[in-house]
């Protein structure tokens, strides 16, 4: 969770430098969404690793579904309030946090 918050701050600062102050809100919101999504995905996978192959598959599918739900939230935010959630900063905020956390997931599961 702490690494997700650090990534959220770093990605938000980078987005503000590139896109301006209007990118701060989507950076914070979707950086935190990505952190929470990844925390629940790791939790589901961790539970699955302790069980059978079916339990592992269930944990993997839940994690994948949660990450996809995050993408749907990005799209909904852009469609509902495009002025507050500009497409590029919003998408980069979510992906800029969830992708590094996804690559580090192996360390979290141990």
3-state secondary structure 35-54: HHHHHHHHHHHHHHHCCCHH
Average pLDDT over residues 80-96: 96
User: What is the structure's pLDDT at 39?
Assistant: 93
Q: Cα–Cα distance between 22 and 96 in angstroms, integer?
A: 17
User: What is the structure's pLDDT at 48?
Assistant: 80
Average pLDDT over residues 79-102: 95
Average pLDDT over residues 82-107: 93
Instruction: Give the list of residues 6+ apart from residue 69 with CB closer than 8 angstroms, or none.
Output: 37
**Cα–Cα distances in angstroms (integers) from residue 72 to residues 33, 79, 94, in the given order:** 12, 11, 11
Q: Cα–Cα distance between 89 and 59 in angstroms, integer?
A: 30
Q: What is the pLDDT of residues 23-74, one digit of tens each?
A: 999 999 999 999 999 999 998 888 888 788 888 899 889 999 999 999 999 9
User: What is the structure's pLDDT at 110?
Assistant: 62
User: What is the structure's pLDDT at 21?
Assistant: 96
**Residue entry with tokens 């929470």:** 36
pLDDT surpasses 80 at 79: yes
For the chain, give the mean pLDDT.
Answer: 92
User: What is the structure's pLDDT at 12?
Assistant: 97
């Amino acid at each position: 969770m702490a690494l997700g918050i650090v990534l959220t701050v770093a990605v938000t600062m980078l987005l503000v430098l590139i896109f301006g102050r209007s990118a701060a809100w989507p950076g914070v919101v979707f950086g935190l969404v990505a952190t929470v999504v990844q925390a629940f995905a790791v939790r589901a996978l961790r539970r699955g690793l302790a069980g059978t192959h079916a339990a592992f598959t269930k944990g993997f599918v839940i994690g994948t579904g949660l990450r996809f739900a995050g993408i749907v939230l990005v799209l909904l935010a852009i469609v509902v309030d495009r002025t507050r959630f500009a497409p590029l900063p919003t998408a980069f905020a979510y992906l800029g946090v969830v992708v590094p956390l996804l690559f580090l997931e192996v360390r979290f599961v141990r």
